[in-house]
Structure 1
Amino acid sequence: MLTVIINSFHAVKNISSIYNSHLSKTSLKIHTFLEKFNQNQHNSLKERLRIAIEQLENNIIETSLAVINDLEQIAQNHPQYHWIIMNILTNFVRKNTIHVSQQEATSKLSAKVRADIQAALTVIARRDVNKDPENEQLDLSHTDMRGVNLNRANLQQTNLYQANLAGANLTEANLTGAILSAANLEGANLYLANLEGAILSAANLKGANLYLANLHCASLYLADLQGAILNDAILDGANLREAKLSE
């Protein structure tokens, strides 16, 4: 009886050993498969990005719109490509918006924004900022974005130096710490916008709607605020030295 029990024990042990060995081999196969899958997926995504950049350079609006939509999906589903895609889009906007000086734009405050430019900016504005790397900054400087719709856009810390945003809709936009030096915001709607700590030195804010805007500790040195609506705006700590407030 004892012999039978011992033999049964060894048989079970052998079966268990074979089973565990099988599991280990299966696990290794799965791991290898996943590694290959992830690598193939990575290569596939890199190829998609390469093609996207090429297609964006063709300047065919319908194609650009489809590409921009695809890029947003990649950014949402693959966080490791989030910032790369934001840079692709900001570069696309900079390349395709001819900078217009404040003097040139005074006669025409708003302009029809190209559909693909608006689409790219919309994706940038509604991105998941939690995926932005620390100490990095979006660059939309020297761009002509007159009349663009950036309602509730998240553009905090964005470089908008000398950007032309005349007539733009920036209602409730987050522009905390944004660089808007020498930017043209004439006639822009900044109702309830958060401009805390923003740099607006020498910015053109003629006729801009800043009703209930937060300008706490913002720099408005040499800014032109003639005709701007400042009702109930938060201006505590703001630098208004040599700012033009009236004719």
Structure 2
Amino acid sequence: MLTVIINSFHAVKNISSIYNSHLSKISPGIHTFVEKFNPNQHKLLKERLRIAIEQLENNIIEPSLAVINDLEKIAQNHPQYHWIIMNTLTNFVRKNTIHVSQEEAINNLSVKVRADIQAALTIIARRNVNKDPENEQLDLSHTDMRGVNLNRANLQEANLYQANLAGANLTEANLAGAILSAANLEGANLYLANLEGAIFSAANLKGANLKGANLHYASLYLADLHGAILNDAILDGANLREAKLSE
């Protein structure tokens, strides 16, 4: 019992440290303005955010869904917390999706993504990208997101290294400049997706639907494209060196 209490204490302490670290990066001008004119509201908001972040650690689906929705509202209404919340959600996804090998994934493509994971990813995908700070990157590397619905998602320049997106719906998604090296996209739907400058080195794109996708200057070095649909895809400037194409 004592061990559980100690572990819980350290977990909360670590979350608070992450929260305080992110909070220290908030624009001083915005932070001061909020505290000066709405000190009580600002204090309550900080507490609401702290509790929400801690509650995600409980890993119970129904409460997680409510907390995730609340975090989206805070991000929308209080831009100074936007990136803290996006980092919180990506951390939540990474910690709760176990990476599996491509071989294991191929043998079990029908895995359904958890409802709270889907909710977190939906919020990340539809966030207001104008609030993203410069030189920051969404980190969804080494995650198992098989079958996730990311239709029209904005994941531009996201880190999806070795992510498992087999069977994912990425129709009209914006993945320009994203890192998808060694990612598993077998059977994924990338119809009309913007993949300009994306890095697919050694990625598995077997049977993926790339019809009409923009692969301008994308790197497909060593990518496996067997059975991929490339009708009307834009491939000018793309690096297809040693890519495995359908015979």
**What's the TM-score bracket when you normalise by the shorter of the two chains?**
0.7 to 0.9
1:156–1:176 CA contact under 8 A, matched in 2: yes
Query: What is the distance in 1 between the residues matched to 2:201 and 2:109?
Result: 20
**2:176 match: secondary structure:** coil
Query: What is the distance in 1 between the residues matched to 2:44 and 2:121?
Result: 26
Residue in 2 aligned with 1:231?
231
2:221–2:239 CA contact under 8 A, matched in 1: yes
Deviation at 1:40, TM superposition (A): 2.1
Deviation at 1:110, TM superposition (A): 3.1
Residue in 2 aligned with 1:120?
120
**1:109 maps onto 2:109 in alignment:** yes
Query: What is the distance in 1 between the residues matched to 2:233 and 2:145?
Result: 24
Query: What is the distance in 2 between the residues matched to 1:36 and 1:177?
Result: 40
**1:69 match: secondary structure:** helix
Aligned pair count reads 214
Letter in 2 for 1:180: L
Kindly provide the CA deviation profile for residues 94-131 of structure 1, in whole angstroms up to 9, marking residues without a partner as x: 00000011111111123111000000000000000000
2:177–2:197 CA contact under 8 A, matched in 1: yes
Residue in 1 aligned with 2:185?
185
Query: What is the distance in 2 between the residues matched to 1:140 and 1:127?
Result: 15
| RMSD between aligned residues | 1.1
Query: What is the distance in 1 between the residues matched to 2:56 and 2:222?
Result: 38
Q: Which runs of 4+ in 1 moved over 4 A?
A: 34-37
Deviation at 1:37, TM superposition (A): 4.9
Query: Structure 2 regions of 5+ residues with no counterpart?
Result: 1-33
Letter in 1 for 2:156: Q
1:110–1:166 CA contact under 8 A, matched in 2: no
Kindly provide the CA deviation profile for residues 199-220 of structure 1, in whole angstroms up to 9, marking residues without a partner as x: 0000000000000000000000
| Identity %, equivalent residues | 90
Query: What is the distance in 1 between the residues matched to 2:244 and 2:38?
Result: 58
Query: What is the distance in 1 between the residues matched to 2:235 and 2:74?
Result: 40
Kindly provide the CA deviation profile for residues 119-172 of structure 1, in whole angstroms up to 9, marking residues without a partner as x: 000000000000000110000000000000000000000000000000000000
Residue 35 and residue 225 in structure 1: after superposition, are their counterparts in 2 closer, same or farther (change >3 A)?
closer
2:181–2:200 CA contact under 8 A, matched in 1: yes
Deviation at 1:49, TM superposition (A): 1.5
Letter in 2 for 1:145: M
Kindly provide the CA deviation profile for residues 219-241 of structure 1, in whole angstroms up to 9, marking residues without a partner as x: 00000000000001000000000
Q: TM-score, normalised by structure 1?
A: 0.85
Query: What is the distance in 2 between the residues matched to 1:36 and 1:165?
Result: 46
Q: TM-score, normalised by structure 2?
A: 0.85
* Counterparts of residues 1-247 of structure 1 (less than 5 Å): 37-246=37-246
Query: Structure 1 regions of 5+ residues with no counterpart?
Result: 1-33
**2:177 match: secondary structure:** coil
Letter in 1 for 2:148: V
Letter in 1 for 2:71: L
Deviation at 1:59, TM superposition (A): 1.0
2:35–2:42 CA contact under 8 A, matched in 1: no
Residue in 2 aligned with 1:6?
none
Residue in 2 aligned with 1:5?
none
1:110–1:168 CA contact under 8 A, matched in 2: no
**1:119 match: secondary structure:** helix
Query: What is the distance in 2 between the residues matched to 1:125 and 1:35?
Result: 30
